[in-house]
Chains A and B, each alone.
Chain A
């Protein structure tokens, strides 16, 4: 088993934290191997940003994503840039708050991730955890329990409950699309 996951959007949306949580869930709680890397511009907010996670049951040689089994796009630019680099049966999830997929692109799952975070959880900043919940529900790349523990370990102290709630909201959104 090897899964390549790319989380892309704009700086400040939390793709890198979501990537770290995924990798930590795999390594520290699910007993798998994982690498996590990132690329971002010099800006702390607004520039293109992406996190890449490779999860496998054997040691990972090449730490970057060549063809994604799972792609999350939280900006139109991310969708336009990375949509093509996905395996034939790969999963593409877009945040419909910001992304309008091509009309002929039928294999895309669209969810209003940031709107849900803002309107139902009160904070747009937890959109990354909503997205993570949807991805974990749909791909089962890590276990729900491992992801939950990694979130608690990695998010800023005092925000654990909100982040876990956002993740659980994502799980139920994922369940509905199945």
Chain B
């Protein structure tokens, strides 16, 4: 392939390769359409780079295995879809409370339940944020091309390691299964984050002691540091402590991390938003059709722009709110019946009207559908 670094990859393959490039060396999973190619690819590739692949007995065990391996210092990932993502939620919550860096890929299929395994959907937008119980910190990335899936997979590890927070890489079936060009990067072209290690001796180590950054140093199991990891609320020693003040302080620190370090994960794209009267908001594969529609409307002289986000949660709230003074209508194409639309209505606070276009037939948006809606509201 000479000096050309463009390679044709399937979206799922690109996720696997992006993860490997970021240093992922452990994958535990249970194959499920439309995510199976991630497991398939890593089953071949991980042993080649000195990593481990385990097909577990189910999704619950897979999620537990990646939490365990991550605590030994190995960058770890699992991948699933639909019913499998539901099964992972309990141990995903365990990772949230214990602040264990892990990456969970969810290639969305139509649901609920077994649904339509090979049809695209964005039905898990809210589940990716609130799927496990309780208030909890989580970062969700939603790429819109195969190349972006590659970079988002690598970025997921950066965010997860840097903030000690689980990251969900949320694909839709279109992105997971299509093939497209990927600009292959070398490891030094990625922003790499190694997790912060303790600087004190094993005797003095307190696993949840805040050094002021809000992100406690994390020791690898197996390197002489012994500590307790529990799904109960805990104090800086790691042992359970259900004292109201301790609990409140822990919860607020967990959520505060995401507010403080927004620049670590925020990833958005503006096209023509400066003077837009009508704004199209989209993420994932619908944003591709939206890009076409917005370009056509612009060519016809309409003041239309697109705001696209890759970092879906925490939602880029302030950035969108700033547009509420100039935008009159926001058009929101979604492959669900209106999950992000409600969020946008809340953020616009009545200053702009919000119009959804929703598909739940397992089909992709055509550019013409979004273009027609732009014309209708313009």
Bind each other? yes
Taking beta carbons and an 8 Å cutoff, which residues of A are in contact with B?
20, 23-24, 27-29, 31, 33-39, 60-64, 66, 153
Is B164 in contact with chain A by the CB < 8 A criterion?
no
Whether B8 and A23, one on each chain, are in contact in the complex, defined by CB atoms closer than 8 angstroms, is yes
* Residues in A whose Cβ lies below 8 Å from that of B1: 28, 153
* Residues in B whose Cβ lies below 8 Å from that of A28: 1, 4, 6-8, 181
Q: Name A42's closest neighbour in chain B (CB-CB).
A: B118
* Residues in A whose Cβ lies below 8 Å from that of B367: 61-62
Q: Name B367's closest neighbour in chain A (CB-CB).
A: A62
Expressed in whole angstroms, the Cα–Cα distance for A34 and B180 within the complex equals: 6
Is B192 in contact with chain A by the CB < 8 A criterion?
no
* Residues in A whose Cβ lies below 8 Å from that of B177: 37-38
* Residues in B whose Cβ lies below 8 Å from that of A153: 1
Expressed in whole angstroms, the Cα–Cα distance for A63 and B120 within the complex equals: 13
Whether A20 and B291, one on each chain, are in contact in the complex, defined by CB atoms closer than 8 angstroms, is no
Per-position binary interface string of chain B over residues 54-91, scored 1 when its CB falls under 8 Å from any chain A CB and 0 otherwise: 00000000000000000000000000000000000000
| Contact residues of B between 141 and 192, Cβ < 8 Å to A | 174, 177-181
* Residues in B whose Cβ lies below 8 Å from that of A23: 8, 179-180
Q: Name A53's closest neighbour in chain B (CB-CB).
A: B179
Of B6, B178, B291, the residue contacting A27 (CB under 8 A) is B6
| Contact residues of B between 288 and 310, Cβ < 8 Å to A | 288-289, 291-292
Q: How large is the interface on B (under 10, 10 to 19, 20 to 34, 35 or more residues)?
A: 20 to 34
Secondary structure type dominating chain B contacts: mixed
Most chain-A Cβ atoms within 10 A of its Cβ — which of B4, B179, B291, B292?
Answer: B179
Is B364 in contact with chain A by the CB < 8 A criterion?
yes
Q: Name A24's closest neighbour in chain B (CB-CB).
A: B8
Return A99 CB to nearest CB of chain B, in Å.
Answer: 26
Of A36, A39, A63, A64, the residue contacting B8 (CB under 8 A) is A36
Most chain-B Cβ atoms within 10 A of its Cβ — which of A35, A37, A63?
Answer: A63
Taking beta carbons and an 8 Å cutoff, which residues of B are in contact with A?
1, 4, 6-8, 118, 174, 177-181, 285, 288-289, 291-292, 364, 366-367
Q: Name A40's closest neighbour in chain B (CB-CB).
A: B118
Whether A34 and B181, one on each chain, are in contact in the complex, defined by CB atoms closer than 8 angstroms, is yes
Whether B178 and A36, one on each chain, are in contact in the complex, defined by CB atoms closer than 8 angstroms, is yes
Whether B7 and A37, one on each chain, are in contact in the complex, defined by CB atoms closer than 8 angstroms, is no
Expressed in whole angstroms, the Cα–Cα distance for A30 and B163 within the complex equals: 41
Q: Name A39's closest neighbour in chain B (CB-CB).
A: B118
Whether B178 and A61, one on each chain, are in contact in the complex, defined by CB atoms closer than 8 angstroms, is no
Whether B366 and A66, one on each chain, are in contact in the complex, defined by CB atoms closer than 8 angstroms, is yes
Given contacts A28-B8, A36-B8, A63-B178, 7 further A-B contacts (CB under 8 A): A28-B181, A31-B6, A34-B180, A35-B180, A36-B180, A64-B364, A153-B1
What 8 pairs between A and B have smallest CB-CB spacing?
A: A27-B181, A61-B292, A36-B179, A24-B8, A37-B178, A61-B288, A27-B8, A61-B291
Return B12 CB to nearest CB of chain A, in Å.
Answer: 13
Expressed in whole angstroms, the Cα–Cα distance for A169 and B7 within the complex equals: 27
Expressed in whole angstroms, the Cα–Cα distance for A28 and B184 within the complex equals: 11
* Residues in A whose Cβ lies below 8 Å from that of B8: 20, 23-24, 27-28, 34, 36
